[in-house]
Amino acid sequence: MLASDMLVAQNVGFFIIAAAMVVGALRVVTTRNVVHAALWLVVVLSGAAAQYVLLAAEFVAITQIMVYIGAVMVLFLFGTMLTRAQIGAEDNLNNAKSWIFGVPVAVLMLATLVIALNDGFGNEKLPMDAPVVNTQQVSDQIFGPYLLPFWALSFVLLAAAIGAIVLARRD
Amino acid sequence: MLAALLSEIPYWGQSLLRVLGGLVAVLLPAGTVVYLFLFKMMSFMQSRLGPMEAGPYGSMQLFAEVGKWLQKEDIVPDAAAPEARIFKLAPLIVLASTFLLVVVVPFGPDALFTNFETGIFYALAVSSVSVLGILIAGWSSANKYSLLGGLRAAGQLVAYELPMVLAVVGVVIQAGTMNLQQIVVAQNTGSIFGFDGVGNPYVITQFVAFIVFMIAVQAELTQTPFDMPIAESELVSGYMTEYSGFRFLIFFIGEFATAGVFSMIASILFLGGWGVPFSWFGWTTIDSIDNWMNVGGPLILFTKMLVLVFFIMWIRFSFPRFREDQLQRFAWKGLIPIALANIMLTAVLKVAF
């Protein structure tokens, strides 16, 4: 493959970010402190946002930051800090038996992803001058052809919100 | 045009200029806000003079304060020693969020860091990153007051982010774009029932959204009456309790720089930003604007920012603190329904006209 066919800067960027994400993901499961694990998860999720930027999908990238880092991770940290987060390393965080189930599940996930991606896209390449999809087109798609799935998702979220309120109420 | 001039500077030169511009855009509002409002206006409202010794009318007081903070020892509490790295990282996350925020603010027709297609959405997203810094600052201080402050801050910031986003949606519907630069242009080329003497600043048509947005900004900045997270009578000073020296200074700069940047964003969304009504000088599009607006624009934006910060500080020095449950009820049962009704009304009117 000729160098002129490749987006060199993008590829270098991809591998740097991917390496950071892999390190972060490993530290999430190996670290000895719940809050540290959550913070490493922040590294992984912001790495995903950076990858979306490399794919010129800025809307998805910003949504990733807003939803996962601004809301989900804050709730994670909020929950752990309210209940059990102690300073320094914890001893009983790792369950020795978890490897028996964890490793097969991880391998299965990886295999599913690889097969699905390979089956779906194979060696397909996007043309270099592929049109950039801007936010307006994304919203036109969501509120046009995909309106029904969007509504369905909204109802699921609404049901989850109402369920959470019902569970939390004492009376 | 300036853009042609800029393209002759090499890339590293442009990057350097952008970094310097970002520093000025963050530190200058922070310094002005602290001196004008925190030192002087607060003193006048309390019938005292405020700092008078350093420089004429105490105008050099800020440099004295910064010098004092920089000399102080950088202390990590013993109990927090296992988490020293996170303890030291936390204020930097808060400040980084402010710097990321200023990137999308347009200061003039060409005077901007980046012309981001989804500018306002980006601004709302990165402003929520600071919650992370506040939470881990509270936790890693190994102090129950700090932890309570951090938790209160997180609950409050998450609750008030929602009305803020919903208030912005009204503006986005009316302007038809999320690009801050185009929102400015849309306001200054617009007209109210054919009268284009003042353009169409959205503070008129989106007045409800403006009020909701400013209340949410007040809460996001944890200024009184929304200062439960740093309530000094119950929590010492919340998540900042254990910080000293320049790390406290970073929190301090972050707080007031964010006040400045949020006010800039509010003036862009609702008051016409850097622009003057284009009909005054016979401009029609953004390309026909004279070059002097690249100097005048930042000054206009800065003035509007000062006016908005004045209101924020006025409320800060006038009102007592909300209780935690009142604070949450106000957001979820007051602001959010109002903002949702505003979105519906705006959408209906947008289709009708």
Here the tokens at position B272 are 């016409």
B86 touches chain A (CB under 8 A): yes
- Taking CA–CA distances from A89, the nearest residue in chain B reads B82
> What is the distance between the alpha carbons of residues A104 and B312, in angstroms, rounded to a whole number?
56
Here the tokens at position B325 are 């449950």
| pTM, to two decimals | 0.86
Between positions 257 and 286 of B, the ones with CB within 8 A of A are none
B151 touches chain A (CB under 8 A): yes
CA nearest B199: which of B306, B300, B119, B346? B300
Of A71, A73, A78, the CB nearest to B151: A78
- For residue B293, the model assigns a pLDDT of 79
CA nearest B143: which of B215, B227, B79? B79
Please tell me the distance in Å from B275's CA to the nearest CA on chain A: 25
Tens of pLDDT, residues B234-289? 777 778 888 888 888 888 888 889 989 999 999 998 888 888 887 777 777 777 77
What is the percent of chain B with per-residue pLDDT over 90, rounded to a whole number? 7
Chain-chain contact of A134 with B117 (C-beta, under 8 angstroms): yes
Q: Answer for the pair B184, B268: CB distance below 8 angstroms, yes or no.
A: yes
Here the tokens at position B286 are 């953004």
Chain-chain contact of B158 with A58 (C-beta, under 8 angstroms): no
Chain-chain contact of A70 with B80 (C-beta, under 8 angstroms): no
Of A62, A74, A88, the CB nearest to B82: A88
User: Bridge partners of A86?
Assistant: none
Chain-chain contact of B151 with A59 (C-beta, under 8 angstroms): no
Per DSSP, helices labelled H in chain B are 2-6, 11-33, 42-45, 61-71, 84-102, 119-127, 130-140, 144-175, 180-189, 202-205, 207-220, 232-235, 245-270, 293-318, 324-329, 336-352
- For residue A108, the model assigns a pLDDT of 94
User: ipTM value of the model?
Assistant: 0.80
Q: Which residues of chain A lie closer than 8 angstroms to B151, CB-CB?
A: 78, 81-82
pLDDT average, residue stretch B213-217: 91
How many other C-beta atoms lie within 10 A of the C-beta of residue B14? 13
Q: Which residues of chain B lie closer than 8 angstroms to A32, CB-CB?
A: none
Please enumerate in sequence order all residues whose Cβ is within 8 A of that of B196, keeping only pairs 6 or more positions apart, or say none. B189, B190, B277, B279
SS3 B192: strand
Please tell me the distance in Å from B264's CA to the nearest CA on chain A: 21
Per-residue pLDDT of chain A (171 residues; tens, 9 = 90+): 455 566 777 888 889 999 999 999 888 888 888 888 888 999 999 999 998 888 878 888 888 888 888 888 888 888 888 877 677 677 776 666 777 888 899 899 999 999 998 888 877 777 777 677 777 888 888 888 899 999 999 999 999 989 988 888 876
Does the pLDDT at position B185 exceed 70?
yes
Backbone angles phi and psi of B20, in degrees to 5: -60, -45
- For residue A102, the model assigns a pLDDT of 82
Which amino acid is it at B182? Q
Chain-chain contact of A70 with B125 (C-beta, under 8 angstroms): yes
Q: Which residues of chain B lie closer than 8 angstroms to A79, CB-CB?
A: none
Task: Give, in degrees to the nearest 5, the angle at Cα A162 between A156 and A168.
Answer: 135
- For residue B318, the model assigns a pLDDT of 87
Tens of pLDDT, residues B283-307? 777 777 777 778 888 888 889 999 9
B155 touches chain A (CB under 8 A): yes
Average pLDDT, chain B: 84
When computed from its CA atoms, the radius of gyration of chain A, rounded to whole angstroms, is 20
Of B79, B122, B147, the CB nearest to A81: B147
Does the pLDDT at position B1 exceed 60?
no
Tens of pLDDT, residues B111-165? 788 888 888 888 988 888 888 888 888 888 888 888 888 888 888 888 888 899 8
Backbone angles phi and psi of B75, in degrees to 5: -95, 135
Q: What is the dihedral of CA B268, B269, B271, B273, to 10 degrees?
A: 20
CA nearest B277: which of B187, B193, B343? B187
